[in-house]
């Protein structure tokens, strides 16, 4: 649908992401062409899954208009996420790599999905 339509989609999706992850501790950055990186500390796996599923549904419900031919279109979204404790790694790129692997899993299994991996260490008593 062209660059202008893509820009409109990115702006609206960014707004939805900002609404869903609005705590002072949440950080949102655009990470590549059509990807966003969200760092949401102190969140449970269930809460993260709920937020990402809410986003997925809201994005799927949005309608956009191609300015060139007035055609209405929709888009979908895929999410990859990692929930882990600080012991997982001090290297942010390792966290991003794992989340990216989840994103590719979501895309390769049909798209329009949320895939989260749990890397919380479980220390035996």
Enumerate the active-site residues: 34
How distant, in Å, are the alpha carbons of 7, 26, 38, 125 from that of 107?
21, 25, 18, 39
Burial of 3 (C-beta count, 10 Å sphere; 0-12/13-18/19+): exposed
């Amino acid at each position: 649908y062209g660059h202008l339509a893509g820009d409109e989609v990115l702006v609206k999706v960014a707004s939805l992401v900002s609404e869903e992850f609005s705590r002072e501790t949440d950080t949102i950055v655009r990470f590549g062409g059509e990807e966003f990186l969200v760092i949401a500390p102190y969140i449970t796996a269930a809460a993260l899954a709920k937020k990402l599923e809410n986003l997925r549904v809201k994005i799927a419900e949005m309608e956009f208009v191609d300015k060139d031919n007035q055609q209405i279109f929709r888009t979908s979204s895929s999410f990859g996420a990692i929930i882990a404790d600080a012991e997982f790694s001090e290297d942010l790129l390792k966290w991003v790599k794992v989340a990216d692997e989840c994103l590719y899993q979501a895309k390769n299994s049909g798209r329009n999905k949320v895939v989260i991996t749990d890397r919380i260490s479980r220390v035996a008593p």
